[in-house]
Amino acid sequence: MPTAFSSRPSNPHLIGLIGANVGGSLTPLLHEREAAAQGLRLAYRTLDIDGLGLSPDAAGQLARDAVRLGYTGLNVTHPCKQTVMTGLDELSEDARDLGAVNTVTVESGAPDGAGAPRLVGRNTDHSGFRAALSAGLPGAALGTVVLVGAGGAGSAVAHALVAAGTQHLLIADADPSRAAAVAVRLDRHTQGQRVTAIALDEVTDALVEADGVVNATPIGMVGHPGTPFDASVLTPRHWVADVVYRPLVTQLVKAALAVGCRVLDGGWLTVGQAADAFELFTGLPADRARMRAHFLDLVADQTL
């Protein structure tokens, strides 16, 4: 793999976040706080396509323009994770498998760093959830897991769960074809594991035999109250993960805690993907415990 231009700790880093309505994102502060703790010069700016008057289709060109203006790395969020790929020179294997990019590194086209910069798309939603699962739910049983939601976040979580060793993954989505498509894509990554698409109304029955469940839908976030399934079926033997972090204590998380489930709140994924991106941008290991503490400080009014 080519060496990232920004991998030398002595370099200043200018990172951008491409997406719509990203002014309230916590990602810039997470990166800047971790950089400050490590003595790095790092500035993180938002590149809001709404404020710039651009459509999602312009994300690829925006990425190239940003690099030309001196940005040394980029994060990408909704609705640009697919459209940004038109401006990239290369995709990592996970980004290619997922069909989505949330991190762009700027790399040299020559071993001595003298070549034209190459923009490489990566996906740390996938690696970030796997790291979050390991750190936040160590030893979680992965015999049978139910995943609700097969969109961008759900697809990344599904790949992470299979990579983590889930033996039977059941995927449900409001759009059955989307769940089926994720299951088919995952087939080539399994090692004797099973991936099954199920209907939303089958989730409750599936949980009877499941070890854990992940919500990868927007249900539970501000403006989308409720739970993605009947939470009354949860028992203390289940573990429950949610990708929603605003609020941190979703209705699903609250219900899970009430019955004694082990819980992975949405902040774990936020920190996991940010830490992985930070390492790609700077070439230095992130202190994940410190970044989790920073995150909890930023959402102190919502903490568990």
Q: DSSP secondary structure string, 163-183?
A: HHT-SEEEEE-SSHHHHHHHH
Under DSSP, the state recorded for 301 is G
Q: Tell me the HSE value of 279 on the side-chain side, using a 13 A CA sphere.
A: 15
Global pTM? 0.89
262: Cβ–Cβ under 8 A, 6 or more apart, which residues?
Answer: 137, 140, 239, 240
Q: pLDDT at position 303, please? A: 52
Answer yes or no: CATH 3.40.50.720 is held by domain 127-265: yes
- The tally of CA atoms less than 13 A away on the side-chain side of residue 151 is 12
How far apart, in Å, are the Cα atoms of 220 and each of 155, 210, 245, 273? 19, 21, 9, 21
pLDDT at 173 over 90: yes
Q: What's the pLDDT tens digit per position in 86-104?
A: 999 999 999 999 999 999 9
- From residue 110, alpha-carbon distances to 91, 118, 121, 174, 214 in Å are 17, 10, 18, 46, 42
Architecture of the domain defined by 5-122+269-302: 3-Layer(aba) Sandwich (3.40)
CA 4/CA 86 separation, integer angstroms: 20
What is the per-residue pLDDT for 70? Answer: 96
Question: In this structure, are residues 299 and 248 in contact, taking their beta carbons and an 8 Å threshold?
Answer: yes
Identify the CA nearest to 29 among candidates 302, 296, 303, 268: 296
**Which residue type does 253 have?**
V
pLDDT at site 301: 56
Span 240-274, pLDDT tens digits: 999 999 999 999 999 999 999 999 999 999 999 99
Dist CA 135 CA 119 (whole Å) = 30
Q: For helices 27-37 and 288-298, give the axis angle rounded to 10 degrees.
A: 130
Annotated active-site residue in 13, 31, 64, 81: 81
pLDDT tens per residue across span 10-56:
479 999 999 999 999 999 999 999 999 999 999 999 999 999 999 99
With 90 as the cut, is the pLDDT of residue 150 above it?
yes
51 Cβ contact partners less than 8 Å away, ≥ 6 residues apart: 23
Which of 8, 4, 2, 3 lies closest to 284, judged by CA? 8
Predicted pLDDT of residue 112: 55
Stretch 60-85: mean pLDDT? 96
Active site residue 81: yes
Task: State how far Cα 151 lies from the chain centre.
Answer: 12
Cα distances from 165 to residues 144, 151, 224, 268, in angstroms, run 10, 21, 31, 19
Cis, bond preceding 218 (omega within 30 deg of 0) = no
> Would you state the structure tokens that stand for residue 80, as one six-digit string?
């640009």
Domain residue extents for the chain: 5-122+269-302, 127-265
Over residues 57-83, the mean pLDDT reads 97
Kindly report the average pLDDT of the chain as a whole number: 93
Using a pLDDT cut of 70, give the percent of the chain over it: 93
- The edge-to-edge listing of strands for the beta sheet with 13-19 is 42-48, 13-19, 73-76, 103-108, 117-122, 90-91
pLDDT digits (tens, 9 = 90+) for 269-293: 999 999 999 999 999 999 999 999 9
Q: Which residues are CB-contacts of 29 (< 8 A; sequence separation ≥ 6)?
A: 44, 294, 298
